[in-house]
């Protein structure tokens, strides 16, 4: 496998900050009274923490962990639930917070299992979307940025657990 390098900053800190605050306002507008955010670990934790701080009023949180990538950049097609939620979703306005929707397999699976827990509503917010990679049709109501088919890291996103700490989003390629 060729060595991978950070080749380009795709989204700057400023671009991300601006868009995340817009997304927070949009979600708040749709759910002014209460919203329950569910972040998909680990990639979404940075996005969640910024989204949350742009959202005044009542917000509650929970976390789950799923894995579709064993290692590296190719999907195994298999999704595993590694950590389940702490609290019930019954009657709540739930928004899944995810870093990126790529093939859509992970979100499709998560939406199915969370819908079965009888939330009042279930929506999804993704910071990034790569529509050209989609293998399954999945609905994502809030999308931060639509990007081309390039592997990106930073702002929570990793390659082999590295680069999550970059404050911007960068392209990783050979």
As measured in angstroms, the least distance from the Cβ of 139 to Mg ion is 17
State the burial class of residue 65 (Cβ atoms within 10 Å of its Cβ: 0-12, 13-18, 19+). Answer: middle
Q: Applying CB under 6 A, which of residues 68, 85, 164, 173 lies at the interface with ligand IMP?
A: 68
Minimum distance from residue 40 beta carbon to Mg ion (Å) = 5
Give the dihedral sign, CA 168/32/129/135: positive
Of 55 and 96, nearer to ligand IMP (C-beta) is 96
CA 140, 145, 149 angle in degrees (round to 5)? 95
Active-site choice (14, 34, 84, 102): 102
Of 20-28, 55-63, 83-91, 103-111, which segment contacts ligand IMP by CB under 6 A? 103-111
Binding mask 17-46 for Mg ion (x = CB under 5 A): --------------------------x---
- Work out which of 9, 103, 145, 173 binds ligand IMP, going by CB under 6 A: 103
Cβ(2)–Cβ(163) below 8 Å = no
Residue facing Mg ion at closest CB distance:
43
Which residue, 30 or 141, is less far from Mg ion as judged by CB?
141
End-to-end CA distance of the chain: 9
- CA 116, distance to chain mean position in Å, is 20
Structure tokens at 31: 């759910």
Respond yes or no: is residue 14 known to be catalytic: no
Please give the structure tokens belonging to residue 82.
Answer: 């590694």
Residues 49 and 61 sit within 8 Å (Cβ to Cβ): no
Q: Which stretch binds ligand IMP (CB under 6 A): 12-20, 27-35, 55-63, 147-155?
A: 147-155
DSSP-derived secondary structure letter, 154: B
Q: Which residues are catalytic?
A: 102
Binding site for ligand IMP (CB under 6 A): 43, 68-69, 75, 98-106, 151-153, 157
């Amino acid at each position: 496998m060729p060595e991978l390098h950070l080749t380009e900053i795709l989204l700057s800190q400023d671009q991300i900050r601006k868009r995340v605050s817009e997304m927070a306002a949009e979600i708040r507008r749709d759910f002014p009274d209460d919203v329950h955010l569910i972040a998909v670990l680990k990639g979404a934790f940075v996005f969640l923490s910024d989204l949350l701080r742009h959202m005044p009023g009542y917000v509650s949180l929970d976390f789950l962990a799923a894995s579709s990538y064993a290692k590296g950049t190719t999907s195994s097609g298999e999704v595993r639930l590694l950590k389940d939620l702490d609290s019930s979703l019954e009657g709540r306005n739930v928004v899944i917070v995810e870093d990126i929707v790529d093939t859509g397999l992970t979100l499709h699976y998560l939406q199915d299992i969370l819908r079965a827990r009888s939330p009042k509503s279930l929506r999804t917010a993704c910071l990034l979307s790569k529509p050209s990679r989609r293998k399954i049709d999945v609905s994502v109501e809030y999308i931060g940025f639509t990007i081309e088919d390039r592997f990106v890291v930073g702002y929570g996103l990793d390659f082999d657990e590295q680069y999550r700490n970059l404050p911007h989003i960068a392209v990783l390629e050979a």
